[in-house]
Structure 1
Amino acid sequence: MECTPLSTQIDHNELESITRRIAAGRYFRQLDEQVLEQMLRRGELVRCNPEEVIFQEGDEQAARLGVLLEGSLAVTSQESFLMRLDQTGDVIGEMSVLRPGPHSASVVAEVESRLVMFPNELFTAPEHSAEVSAIYLVFAHILAEKLRITTAQTRLQHGNRASDEVQPPKIGVVDSNPESLEQLLALVQDVWPRGQVSEISKEKLLEGDLTQRFDLILVDPLDGESDTEVVPAIEGCVLASEMILAVSRYCTEEGNREQLANLGVTSFLSKPFSEFDCRHLLSQLRVSYYRQRELEQVEHAADTDRLTGLANRRKLDEFIEALVTLYPERQEPFSLIIADVDNFKHYNDTHGHQMGDVVLATVSSVFKTRVRRGDLAARFGGEEFVMMLPKCNKANALRIGEKLRKAIADEDIPYQEQQPLGNLTATFGVATFPEDAESIEHLLKQADDCLYRGKESGRNVVIGANPI
Structure 2
Amino acid sequence: MDQYIGEAGRTADLADLDELGELIGGGRYFRRIPRPLLHNILRQGTLIDVDQDHCLIREGDATPSRMYILVEGSVAIVVNGHFILRLAEPGDVVGEMAVIQSTPRSADVVTETPCRLISFPSDLFEVDADSPRASILYVLFAHIMATKLRMTTAQSLIRKSQRVTAPGDSYVGIIDAVSADRATARETVRCIWPEAMITEFASPAEFYQCPNMFRFDLIIADVDFFDDFRNDSTSVANFLAAMKLRGAHVMIFSHSCQQASRREFLIRQGAEDVVAKPCLPFDLEHAVSKARISYYKNLELDRAESAAETDQLTGLANRRRLEEFLEALVLVYPDQHRPFSLILLDVDHFKHYNDNHGHQNGDKVLQALARMLPRALRRGDLAARFGGEEFLVVLPDCDKPFALQVAEKLRLAIEAAELPHQHTQPGGNLTATFGVATFPDDARDTEALFKQADECLYRGKHLGRNVVVAPD
TM-score, normalization by structure 1: 0.50
Q: Which amino acid aligns with 2:320?
A: R
1:383 match: 389
Deviations 1:441-464, CA, capped at 9 Å, x for gaps: 122233334444555x47525474
Change over 3 Å in CA distance of 1:415–1:392 after alignment to 2: same
Deviations 1:413-450, CA, capped at 9 Å, x for gaps: 44445556665444444444344434221222333344
Change over 3 Å in CA distance of 1:419–1:392 after alignment to 2: same
SS at match of 2:317: coil
Distance in 2, matches of 1:376 and 1:161, equals 11
**Unaligned runs of at least 5 residues, structure 2:** 1-163
SS at match of 1:280: helix
Contact 1:171-1:214 within 8 A present in 2 as well: yes
SS at match of 1:354: helix
Identity of counterpart residues, as a percentage? 44
Which structure is richer in relative contact order (CA contacts within 8 A, separation 6 or more)? Answer: 2
Q: Which amino acid aligns with 2:449?
A: L
Distance in 1, matches of 2:362 and 2:322, equals 23
1:239 match: 242
Q: Which amino acid aligns with 1:460?
A: R
- 1:115-130 matches, within 5 Å, as none
Given the alignment of the two structures, is residue 286 of structure 1 paired with residue 292 of structure 2, yes or no? yes
Given the alignment of the two structures, is residue 170 of structure 1 paired with residue 169 of structure 2, yes or no? no
- Cα deviation for residue 383 of structure 1 reads 1.7
Given the alignment of the two structures, is residue 266 of structure 1 paired with residue 269 of structure 2, yes or no? no
Deviations 1:34-63, CA, capped at 9 Å, x for gaps: xxxxxxxxxxxxxxxxxxxxxxxxxxxxxx
Change over 3 Å in CA distance of 1:189–1:230 after alignment to 2: farther
Q: Which amino acid aligns with 2:204?
A: L
Change over 3 Å in CA distance of 1:415–1:315 after alignment to 2: same
- 1:192-207 matches, within 5 Å, as 192-197=193-198, 200-201=201-202, 204-205=203-204
SS at match of 1:308: coil
Q: Which amino acid aligns with 2:242?
A: L
- Cα deviation for residue 380 of structure 1 reads 0.9
Match of 1:460 among 448, 452, 465: 465
- 1:362-441 matches, within 5 Å, as 362-370=368-376, 375-392=381-398, 401=407, 404-405=410-411, 407-419=413-425, 423-441=429-447
1:189 match: 190
Change over 3 Å in CA distance of 1:379–1:229 after alignment to 2: same
2:158 match: none
1:323 match: 329
Contact 1:222-1:230 within 8 A present in 2 as well: no
Q: CA RMSD in A?
A: 4.5
- Cα deviation for residue 306 of structure 1 reads 2.5
Q: Which amino acid aligns with 1:304?
A: T
Distance in 2, matches of 1:270 and 1:395, equals 39
Distance in 2, matches of 1:227 and 1:338, equals 42
Deviations 1:266-292, CA, capped at 9 Å, x for gaps: 334456644444433433332123223
Contact 2:459-2:469 within 8 A present in 1 as well: no
- Cα deviation for residue 355 of structure 1 reads 1.5
1:361 match: 367
Contact 2:341-2:436 within 8 A present in 1 as well: yes
- Cα deviation for residue 360 of structure 1 reads 1.9
Distance in 2, matches of 1:458 and 1:230, equals 47
Larger Rg: 1
SS at match of 2:448: helix
Distance in 2, matches of 1:168 and 1:450, equals 39
Contact 2:173-2:216 within 8 A present in 1 as well: yes
TM-score, normalization by structure 2: 0.50
Given the alignment of the two structures, is residue 351 of structure 1 paired with residue 353 of structure 2, yes or no? no
**Unaligned runs of at least 5 residues, structure 1:** 1-159
- Cα deviation for residue 392 of structure 1 reads 5.0
